[in-house]
């Protein structure tokens, strides 16, 4: 039981001292990453180069995908995937209100109109029936987000997409290790978009990747990610000698650097060990919080693999005796960093003003977004760190 792990503390002081503030989402960086970055710096090749090419091969091999293009972020991956679909103004793209702004912004930047469909209240993932209800003759694509690392109901979503002729772009920012019915997340749709942001399960600082089974889509995304310059323009300064490149369309500056890939290569080599560590922390939290007045994450569905990216608890004021925001403040006062993933998209003024969405149009996402708190779940956490999180949660709830 959790009590065995709870460390003795003074009657008044915080569970953790201020100089040991537990930073939410701090990554586990090993000597291998440090040495590889230093080697990149010393080599003189800092920008897009052979390490990015190696990271692409290793990532697509890990995921069992045909093509991978490394980019500067998942936001860039989403944007380029939408551009590859050649969306036109007036085209609609359906996604979830329980996501980060980047998912919706990418749709807007591609010139299309975002449409929201509510989530399932238990899985927190897009409800396929709500997606079907949101589809109109103008709908071109659906963007499922595998929230917290739990796979979406891909059989049902793919059936809706196939029946309506929709493209599928999977937002896999939380879903590097996720599997559904034996298949890797990011390989179901036309595109799978990944994030290597500093809090993610594989880290490059900033970084992203697009997976696709289409050689044409991969080639176009590669060109769009580097100014629209013709294929393999990054090699123009290599020992193969200068080669002219030709700009074939107005592209973006979305390429990944070798310095980033240097980190990613070694992070990816440890992806399974890091997953096992997070899975163990997840189980410890479930066990330690079982008797508390909190909503806990649903058990993973059979024949799926959860990526254990976010451990989220729901703080319902009536049940818990304090509001979610008071819980956040109290955890911070205990020197434990916490997060919110996410206030539902319609809570943000830009989206409500631009699209007329109200939070209660999507009641499940609204309810989750107003109660959810993410607790630290990094593989960098020590046993003492996990014990401090448990002790702080119990203290804040008066247990
Ligand atoms: C669900 C989701 N989509 C997209 C993104 C954007 O990722 P990036 O920061 O790599 O652009 C994030 C990042 O936090 C995310 O959580």
Cβ contact 289:297 at 8 Å = no
pLDDT tens for the chain, 399 residues: list them.
344 455 555 457 999 999 999 999 999 999 999 999 999 999 999 999 999 999 999 999 999 999 999 999 999 999 999 999 999 999 999 999 999 999 999 999 999 999 999 999 999 999 999 999 999 999 999 999 999 999 999 999 999 999 999 999 999 999 999 999 999 999 999 999 999 999 999 999 999 999 999 999 999 999 999 999 986 766 777 777 888 889 999 999 999 999 999 999 999 999 999 999 999 999 999 999 999 999 999 999 999 999 999 999 999 999 999 999 999 999 999 999 999 999 999 999 999 999 999 999 999 999 999 999 999 999 999 999 999 999 999 999 999
Beta-carbon count within 10 A of 66 CB: 13
Q: Which of the listed residues 79, 101, 102, 191 should we mutate to test ligand 1's pocket, taking the one with most ligand atoms within 8 A of CB?
A: 102
The alpha helices in the chain, defined as continuous H runs, are 31-43, 50-63, 74-84, 101-109, 128-134, 154-164, 215-225, 258-269, 271-288, 317-320, 324-333, 349-355, 363-371, 383-396
**DSSP bridge partners of 209:** 70, 194
Q: What pLDDT, on a 0 to 100 scale, did the predictor assign at position 2?
A: 41
CA 257 to CA 264: how far, in whole Å?
11
**DSSP bridge partners of 194:** 209
* Sign for the pseudo-dihedral over CA of 204, 206, 212, 216: negative
Does this model's pTM top 0.85? My answer is yes
200 included as an active-site residue:
yes
User: SS in 3 state form for 344-374?
Assistant: CHHHCHHHHHHHCCCHHHCHHHHHHHHHEEE
- 212: phi > 0 → left, psi -120 to 50 → alpha, else beta; which? beta
Q: What pLDDT, on a 0 to 100 scale, did the predictor assign at position 243?
A: 80
User: Quick one: tokens of 302?
Assistant: 């059979």
The separation between the first and the last C-alpha atoms of the chain, rounded to the nearest angstrom, is: 14
CA 266 to CA 302: how far, in whole Å?
31
Ligand 1 contacts (CB < 6 A) are 73-75, 99-100, 102-103, 145, 171, 173-174, 195, 197, 208
Q: In this structure, which residue's CA is closest to atom 7 in ligand 1?
A: 74
Q: What is the 240 CA–ligand 1 centroid distance (Å)?
A: 36
Q: Which of the listed residues 24, 74, 207 should we mutate to test ligand 1's pocket, taking the one with most ligand atoms within 8 A of CB?
A: 74
Residue 342: is the preceding peptide bond cis (ω within 30°)? yes
């Amino acid at each position: 039981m959790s009590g065995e792990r709870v460390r003795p503390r003074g009657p008044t002081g915080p569970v953790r001292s201020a100089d040991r503030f537990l930073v939410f989402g701090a990554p586990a960086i090993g000597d291998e990453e440090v040495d590889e970055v230093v080697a990149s710096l010393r080599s003189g090749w800092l920008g897009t180069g052979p390490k990015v090419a190696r990271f692409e091969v290793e990532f697509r091999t890990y995921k069992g995908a045909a093509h991978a293009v490394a980019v500067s972020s998942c936001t860039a991956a989403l944007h380029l995937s939408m551009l590859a679909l050649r969306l036109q103004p007036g085209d609609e793209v359906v996604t979830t209100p329980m996501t980060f702004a980047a998912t919706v912004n990418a749709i807007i930047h591609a010139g299309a109109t975002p449409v929201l469909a509510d989530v399932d209240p238990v899985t927190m993932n897009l409800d396929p029936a709500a997606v079907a209800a949101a589809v109109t003759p103008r709908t071109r694509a659906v963007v499922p987000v595998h929230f917290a690392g739990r796979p979406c109901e891909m059989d049902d979503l793919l059936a809706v997409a196939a029946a309506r002729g929709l493209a599928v772009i999977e937002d896999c920012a939380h879903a590097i290790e996720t599997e559904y019915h034996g298949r890797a997340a990011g390989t179901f749709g036309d595109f799978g978009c990944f994030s290597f942001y500093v809090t993610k399960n594989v880290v490059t600082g900033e970084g992203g990747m697009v997976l696709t089974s289409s050689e044409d889509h991969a080639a176009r995304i590669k060109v769009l990610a580097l100014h629209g310059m013709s294929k393999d323009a990054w090699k123009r300064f290599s020992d193969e000698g200068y080669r002219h490149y030709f700009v074939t369309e107005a592209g973006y500056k979305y390429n990944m650097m070798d310095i980033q890939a240097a980190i990613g290569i070694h992070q990816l080599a440890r992806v399974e060990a890091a997953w096992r560590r997070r899975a163990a922390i997840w189980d410890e939290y479930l066990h330690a919080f079982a008797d508390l007045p909190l909503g806990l994450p649903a058990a993973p569905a059979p024949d799926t693999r959860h990526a254990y990216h976010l451990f989220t608890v729901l703080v319902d004021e009536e049940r818990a005796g304090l509001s979610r925001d008071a819980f956040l403040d109290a955890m911070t006062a205990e020197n434990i960093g916490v997060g919110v993933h996410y206030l539902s998209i319609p809570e943000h003024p830009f989206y409500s003003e631009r699209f007329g969405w109200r939070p209660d149009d999507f009641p499940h996402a609204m309810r989750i977004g107003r109660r959810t708190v993410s607790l630290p779940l990094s593989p960098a956490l020590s046993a003492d760190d996990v014990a401090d999180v448990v002790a702080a949660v119990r203290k804040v709830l008066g247990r």
